[in-house]
Structure 1
Amino acid sequence: MNTILITGAASGIGAATARLFHSRGWKVGLLDINHAALATLAAELGGVWHAELDVSDAGAVREALADFCALHGGQLRLLFNCAGILRFGYFEEISLEEHVSILQINVLGLLQVSHAAFPYLKATPDAQVINMGSASGLYGTPHMASYSASKFAVRGLTEALDLEWRRHGIRVGDLMPPFVRTPMVDSQRFTPPALKRLGVNLQAEDIAQAVWQQAGHSQVHRPIHWLFKLMYWSGQLSPPALSRLLMAWISRD
């Protein structure tokens, strides 16, 4: 049975992914801290399983994973770690509490959900984890420093677990898009120069399609959009100084 559990499922990329996989016959589970929006989406999809969840609460994470997977013979085909938060702005003008929250949700939350999911993934043939990475995990991005740091952590965790969990038959990869038109981006009060220069050329549905592609043809890192693919592959072949120059140009006021 094809099952997918999605964190951060109530809106944006998570919701678009839920709609796509549900339309293609997968059993979908929805997790998000926004209960009202989550319940609305679950009803739209015909009453699919859903639970309000703060991914930074380790006990609640374990309980939610156990509840969903118990409905499917203790198995989980695909975990999509999509929950995350973002704050644009100058590093020193963002409160320390906000920086900490970004790291707690984007890194600790992802780690806790993955840890709790492991026994169910291990019990499932062709199991997979897809993490929501970012283009900002390629080179540190000004005006989103703690978010960028969190995505470097996601990248490192993805690479390590993909190697470590091969012995269990579990594939691990991440998606690396540039800016995506989502409520999280649209709600920001500060517009980074990088966003002004690059624009927002992707919709949540584009990332949902990338999740679908990743589920069928796994790779460790999946850069999204032709411009970032060019940046990504040039970064693999060129010295770090060139990446720094490119980021400095993109982020220039």
Structure 2
Amino acid sequence: MNNILITGAASGIGAATARLFHSRGWQVGLLDINHAALASLSAELGGVWHAEMDVADAGAVQEALKDFTSLHNGQLRLLFNCAGILRFGCFENIELAEHARILQINVLGLLQMTHAAFAYLKVTPDAQVINMGSASGLYGTPHMASYSASKFAVRGLTEALDLEWRQHGIRVGDLMPPFVRTAMVSSQTFLPPALRRLGVNLSAEQIALAVWQQAQSAKVHRPISALFKLMYGSAQFSPAWLTRWIMGWLSRP
């Protein structure tokens, strides 16, 4: 029986992914720091396994993985590192502690989950890790500098581990969407010029479908949306100055 463990599962992309995989017969595990929303989603899905957890808490990460995999003969078919936080704004106007928290959740939390999951992934046929990357991991994005930096880190880790863990039969890939219509985006008080120009054209359900596609046919990077696929493809061949010019144009006031 296929199983998936999802961080950041209580809302947005994580919740949409849980619903999709559950509807298609997978055993689903839910992790999130928001206990009330997590319990509500678990009940909606018929009482699936869930645990309140902060991905930045190394001890809690290890305990959650142990508990979930104990229900599945110590195996983990798919880890979806979806937990993440975001803050739009001018770099100097955001408190340093908030920049640090973005990196702590988006990078250190993902590292801790993936490191702790290795023992369970390596004993599972066709095991995978899917990381929540971003279009902002392709080129530094103004007004979301620390978030963009965190997604650069996710991209680098993904590329390295996909090569390193192939000897263990584990594939590692990431999803790279532009802006997605979730509460994490709609709750922001600052509107980046790039968002105003590009718009928010993707839903959480569309990203969940991309997770499903990745689970069936792994890629190192999976760019999402027609526009970003075009930008991603052209960036592989165009000079760096052109990509930088485009980002500068998108982000101008």
2:166 maps to 166
Cα deviation, residue 17, structure 1:
0.1
**One-letter amino acid of the structure 2 residue matched with residue 91 of structure 1:** F
Query: Identity percentage over the alignment?
Result: 81
Residue 142 of structure 1: aligned partner: 142
Matched, 1:198 2:198: yes
User: 1:242 & 1:137 partners in 2: Cα distance?
Assistant: 16
Q: Which residue of 2 aligns with 1:68?
A: 68
The structural deviation recorded for 1:93 is: 0.1
* In 2, Cα distance between equivalents of 1:25 and 1:183: 27
**Letter of the 1:54 counterpart:** D
Q: Number of paired residues?
A: 253
Match of 1:139, as an amino acid? Y
Q: How many angstroms apart in 1 are the aligned matches of 2:211 and 2:224?
A: 11
Task: Give the partner amino acid of 2:97.
Answer: E
Query: Structure 2 CA distance, aligned partners of 1:194 and 1:206?
Result: 21
* Secondary structure in structure 1 of the residue aligned to 2:167: helix
1:153 aligns with: 153
Q: CA deviation digits over 1:167-208, x for unaligned, max 9? A: 000000000000000010010000000000000000000000
Cα displacement string for residues 119-152 of structure 1 (whole angstroms, at most 9, x for unaligned residues): 1000100000000000000000000000000000
Supply the distance in 1 between the matched residues of 2:33 and 2:55 (Cα, whole angstroms): 8
* CA–CA separation in structure 2 for the residues paired with 1:23 and 1:252: 43
Pair 1:81 & 2:81 matched: yes
Question: After superposition, where does 1:73-222 map in structure 2 within 5 Å?
Answer: 73-222=73-222
Secondary structure of 1:222's aligned partner: strand
CA distance in 1, matches of 2:218, 2:55: 25
- Give the partner amino acid of 1:153: A
- When the two chains are superposed, the root-mean-square deviation of aligned CA atoms in Å is 0.3
Secondary structure at the counterpart of residue 130 of structure 2: strand
Distance 1:66 1:115 in 2: 13
Shift in Å at residue 252 of structure 1? 1.2
Q: Distance in 2 between matches of 1:59 and 1:239?
A: 44
SS in 1 for 2:143: coil
Matched with 1:20 is 20
Q: In 1, Cα distance between the equivalents of 2:47 and 2:152?
A: 36
1:44-75 CA deviation, whole Å, 9 max, x = no partner? Answer: 00000000000000010000000000000000
- Name the aligned partner's letter for residue 234 of structure 2: S
Q: Could you list the runs of 5+ residues in structure 1 that have no partner in the other structure?
A: none
Letter in 2 for 1:183: A
**In structure 2, distance between residues paired with 1:251 and 1:211:** 29
Instruction: State the partner residue of 2:8.
Output: 8
The C-alpha deviation readout for 1:65-99, integer Å capped at 9, x for no partner, is 00000000000000000000000000000000000
Q: What residue ranges of structure 2 are gaps of 5+ in the alignment?
A: none
**Counterpart Cα distance in 2 of 1:251 and 1:233:** 21
1:61 alignment partner AA:
V
3-state SS of 2:236 partner: helix
SS in 1 for 2:87: coil
1:140 aligned counterpart, secondary structure: coil
- Output the amino acid matched with 2:5: L
Distance (whole Å) between structure 2 residues aligned to residue 135 and residue 250 of structure 1: 13
CA distance in 1 between partners of 2:83 and 2:175 (Å): 13
